[in-house]
Amino acid sequence: MNLLLFRDDLRVHDNPTLAEAARDGFVPVYVFDERDYGETRYGTEKTGAHRARFIRETVEDLRSSLRELGGDLAVRQGRTEEVVASLVDGYGVDTVFLQTKPATEEFGRERAVRETARAEGAETRRLWTHTLHHINDLPTPPERMNDTFTPWRKEVEANDKPRETVDAPDGIDTPSFDDGIPSLDELGLEPSEDDGRGALGFEGGETRALERLEEYIWERDLLREYKETRNRLVGADYSSKLSAWLARGSISPRRVYEEVKRYEDERVSNDSTYWLVFELRWRDFFQFGFVKHGSAFFAPGGIRGVSREWRGRGERFERWCKGTTGVPFVDAAMRELNATGYTSNRARQNVASFLVDVLGVDWRLGAAYFEEKLVDYDVASNWGNWAYQAGVGNDSRDRYFNVLKQGKRYDGDGGFVRTWVEEKEASPNPHEPYAPEGYDAPVVDVRTEYDRLAEERG
């Protein structure tokens, strides 16, 4: 008997771990690990309500898919390695299959699973399944990869083609379970409602992920203009919105890639179709970067060991979190994030730059806050992008965003700000700094701060 520990691979299509485990009878299990819920060392929640809701829906959908294949899914709460040990013992399991992920805590948990499984007499097999390019196919192993994206990408583009997707099994043989899926309350969280202003009502699960792919690429034909629209800020159409499903593995990047290739053959091949795959390579770049640098990604000075004084928690950070800085573009993005668990890439870059460059607050607090809120949180994408933005990560350039200019450029008509910042609803100058409700003034004089940055960094 095998055991399949589902992690961020919550799908039946293109799931090599499932395909391997299902060659025999197996026990499939998903664990809501208690260490993924609760307070972090930064005073934030490790998983907030938006993502917890999304994960619940994802697990429910996976269980339905496994039942359609003739099997079932065990759903447990506790510590992963203890749950695995008790199932190994209870079902006489010989081999535990699981997805491997490169970050510190994830890796630590894999080690713990291997040890407890071994103590019960089972061996463990780990499979790399979450990137577009397979780790073993890279022209240069991750340990020696280039830390700058462009040369890394060019080398990968020239030398590797993603592996083909793997079919879902025709049928599976598993025990039956009558486990409930823990409620938000049981996970220690208050439910949170999306009020309908969000870019997309993100609903967890492979079913919805595949529908979104179909809708974005084929039905709405939006891929053909992805490159031109991807920096927009409002609505469902401007980018694929696949991130939350990719992060939980409800859709595989190779599946997205194959669909893009089919679209290129059947409809159009242009800069936009290339660019979606280009973004998936950014995603890969951070995953492999974590293999190379490990826990250095969480150090204050990042992978480059930059030494800089940062501000800790305090009014600046609190107002940034709540979206009450008095800088409209920042507040709109933070309020969108708080209300929905999502905000666009352009908005993320701006709020991150504002926190670290203008407010001088420790980038790790920002990353931890995003970790709590994001529905699409992924350890490597989040901490990698934050480090990059804070100037301690993969880019040696110390670039900052002028959020006033960016707001006017990407939200010229103020539609984004007016959607999220009530105080600006009727304002003729949506991007002019303002005093948010409950405050007398913006958190800093932002124009003076940009003069300072221009002088310091050019």
Binding site for ligand FAD (CB under 6 A): 230, 239-243, 246-247, 276, 279-280, 282-283, 286, 344-345, 348-349, 352, 370, 374, 376-378, 381-382, 385-386, 389
Are the CB atoms for 327 and 354 separated by under 8 Å?
Answer: yes
Cβ 224 to ligand FAD, closest distance in Å?
14
Cβ 132 to ligand FAD, closest distance in Å?
9
Residue 240 counted as an annotated binding residue: yes
Residue 280 counted as an annotated binding residue: yes
Q: CB-based burial of residue 163 (10 Å sphere; 0-12 exposed, 13-18 middle, 19+ buried)?
A: middle
Cβ 326 to ligand FAD, closest distance in Å?
21
- How far from 397 is each of 19, 56, 388, CA to CA, in Å? 43, 40, 9
Residue type, 21: A
Cβ 265 to ligand FAD, closest distance in Å?
20
Residue 269 counted as an annotated binding residue: no
Q: Which of 372, 371, 374, 358 is nearest to 320 (CA)?
A: 358
Grouping H, G, I as helix, E, B as strand and the rest as coil, residue 150 is helix
- Nearest to ligand FAD of 209, 443 (CB atom): 209
- Nearest to ligand FAD of 99, 389 (CB atom): 389
Cβ 261 to ligand FAD, closest distance in Å?
15
- Nearest to ligand FAD of 298, 377 (CB atom): 377
Letter string b/e over residues 362-388, b meaning 16 or more CB atoms within 10 A of that residue's CB: bbbbbbbbbbbbbbbbbbbbbbbbbbb
Residue 239 counted as an annotated binding residue: yes
Residue 56 counted as an annotated binding residue: no
- Nearest to ligand FAD of 395, 432 (CB atom): 395
Cβ 347 to ligand FAD, closest distance in Å?
8
Residue 283 counted as an annotated binding residue: yes
- Nearest to ligand FAD of 26, 238 (CB atom): 238
- Nearest to ligand FAD of 100, 240 (CB atom): 240
- Nearest to ligand FAD of 2, 385 (CB atom): 385
DSSP assignments along 253-277, one per residue: HHHHHHHHHHHHHHT--SHHHHHHH
DSSP assignments along 292-338, one per residue: HHGGGGGSTTGGGT-----B-SSHHHHHHHHT-SS-HHHHHHHHHHH
Cβ 18 to ligand FAD, closest distance in Å?
21
DSSP assignments along 99-142, one per residue: E---SHHHHHHHHHHHHHHHHTT-EEEEE--SSSS-GGG-SS-G
Residue 285 counted as an annotated binding residue: yes
Residue 378 counted as an annotated binding residue: yes
Q: Which of 341, 46, 73 is nearest to 181 (CA)?
A: 73
- Torsion angle in degrees (nearest 10) through CA of 351, 355, 356, 362: -130
Residue 286 counted as an annotated binding residue: yes
- How far from 355 is each of 325, 386, 389, CA to CA, in Å? 10, 11, 10
Residues contributing to the annotated binding site for FAD: 226, 239-243, 279-286, 376-378
